[in-house]
């Protein structure tokens, strides 16, 4: 039989660890909300927090006695070292996991439902922590993990197509609406519409944890807090783009010869497009560079390169044989009957 004193101590312990777990989940949830713009992670963390809240019984709260807690206000020097969001997230995930373990151990006899829920949430949080930390990782590290790059083209179904591609696994999207592009009403696209579309795609990409860059327009990239910008050979120089965007953002550049790739590397670009490999209506009048340039890039490029230009499942194997492990596509996804299925098919081939 548990003594009355032990019983009361267990109630206090359960209350303290329920508070600790819920507070830690809220810290991580708010980072996902305000730092990562990840509605999906926010929803998951909120659900975990609410599930614990439902089991935070009144009898636990009534047993609370903060003034009599010998460890109240006790700090540790390691807390002062958490200066980066990733460190704060990791520390709070550990805090929650430890609290859940305490709830699981001491709740088995006192509150089996709480013990079971604590165990389930603890195991769920192991994977969730990895996803949150990965989402907040350096943009260049996330770029390294991307091997399929969707470049958009003007379309009345732009948002739906991109959403489907993201659902299919695409994690790098470029918004591209060149001068002369037409809006859904058939009129020349305006900057107001470009801003509206870029904002919508930015939010979509954030929801899926995907990188989002803007073609050419540094002003638009800044306006929607894009992850970077993609520059053509005739656009502003990368050095100026870097000065405007800052050191953290991604800068990509289209290249059509090995000399341009070398220049992009020297200019501090984070990735390059290599192509067009095949003739494509996206680049009318530009001669395809073929697979020789892909081979050169594979042998020499120290930064990620994406082969681009008329690439589709039927000719992807030849690109891969030339050393192209990453590809950028437009029509292979945007003109597919099922963009999600097309994205999955390409990713399966690339993987």
pLDDT at 76 over 50: no
As a whole number of angstroms, the distance between CA 307 and CA 322 comes to: 10
Q: For residue 283, what pLDDT is reported?
A: 66
Give kind and range of the element (H or E) at residue 163: helix 158-167
Q: What is the pTM of this model?
A: 0.67
Average pLDDT of the segment spanning 186-191? 89
Reduce the DSSP state of residue 100 to 3 states and report it: helix
* pLDDT given at position 86: 83
Asked which of 8-17, 32-41, 50-59 is least confident by mean pLDDT, the reply is 32-41
Residue 283 annotated to the active site = yes
Query: pLDDT tens, 253-270?
Result: 999 999 999 999 999 999
Cβ-contact 217, 226 below 8 angstroms:
no
Round the average pLDDT of the chain to a whole number and report it. 91
pLDDT at 73: 53
What whole-number distance in Å separates Cα of residue 15 and Cα of residue 350? Answer: 50
Q: How far is CA 321 from CA 108, 345, 349, in A?
A: 58, 18, 12
- pLDDT range class, residue 79, cuts 50, 70, 90: very low
**Catalytic option among 22, 38, 253, 254:** 254
Whether residue 78 has pLDDT greater than 60? no
343 is catalytic: no
Q: Is the peptide bond before 276 cis (omega within 30 degrees of 0)?
A: yes
Could you say which of 283, 295, 331, 344 is catalytic?
A: 283
Sign of CA dihedral 183, 188, 189, 190: negative
Residues 89-104 have pLDDT tens digits of: 999 999 999 999 999 9
3 is catalytic: no
Q: What is the DSSP letter of 190?
A: P
Among residues 345, 346, 342, 304, which one has the least CA distance to residue 323? 304
Neighbour-count burial for 235-258, b at 16+ CB within 10 Å, e otherwise: beebeebbeebeeebbbbbbbbeb
Average pLDDT over residues 245-257: 93
Residue tagged active-site, from 12, 38, 122, 176: 176
Mean pLDDT, range 65-72, rounded to an integer: 58
Q: Please tell me the CATH superfamily of domain 139-350, with its number.
A: Aldolase class I (3.20.20.70)
């Amino acid at each position: 039989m548990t003594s009355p004193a032990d019983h009361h101590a267990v109630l206090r312990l359960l209350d303290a660890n329920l508070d600790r777990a819920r507070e830690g989940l809220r810290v991580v949830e708010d980072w996902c909300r305000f730092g990562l713009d990840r509605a999906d992670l926010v929803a998951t963390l909120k659900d975990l927090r609410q599930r614990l809240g439902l089991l935070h019984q009144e009898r636990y709260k009534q047993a609370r006695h903060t003034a009599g807690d010998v460890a109240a206000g006790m700090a540790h020097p390691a807390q002062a070292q958490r200066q980066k969001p990733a460190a704060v997230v990791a520390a709070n995930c550990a805090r929650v996991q430890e609290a859940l373990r305490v709830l699981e151990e001491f709740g088995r006899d006192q509150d089996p439902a709480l013990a079971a829920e604590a165990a389930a949430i603890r195991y769920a949080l192991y994977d969730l922590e990895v996803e949150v930390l990965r989402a907040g990782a350096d943009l260049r590290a996330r770029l390294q993990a991307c091997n399929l790059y969707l470049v958009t083209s003007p379309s009345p179904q732009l948002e739906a197509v991109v959403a489907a591609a993201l659902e299919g696994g695409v994690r790098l999207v470029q918004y591209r609406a060149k001068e002369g592009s037409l809006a859904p009403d058939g009129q020349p696209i305006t900057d107001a519409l470009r801003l509206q579309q870029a904002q919508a795609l930015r939010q979509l990409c954030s929801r899926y944890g995907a990188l989002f860059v803007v073609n050419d327009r540094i002003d638009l990239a800044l306006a929607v807090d894009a992850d970077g910008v993609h520059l053509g050979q005739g656009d502003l120089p990368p050095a100026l783009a870097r000065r405007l965007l800052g050191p953290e953002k991604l800068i990509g550049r289209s290249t059509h010869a090995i000399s341009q790739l070398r220049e992009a590397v020297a200019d501090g670009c984070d990735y390059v497009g290599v192509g067009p490999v095949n003739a494509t209506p996206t680049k009318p009048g530009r001669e395809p560079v073929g697979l020789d340039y892909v081979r050169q890039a594979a042998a020499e490029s120290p930064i990620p390169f994406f082969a681009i230009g008329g690439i589709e499942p039927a000719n992807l194997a030849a690109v891969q044989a030339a050393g192209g492990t990453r590809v950028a596509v437009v029509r292979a996804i945007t003109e597919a009957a099922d963009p999600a299925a097309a994205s999955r098919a390409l990713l399966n081939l690339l993987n």
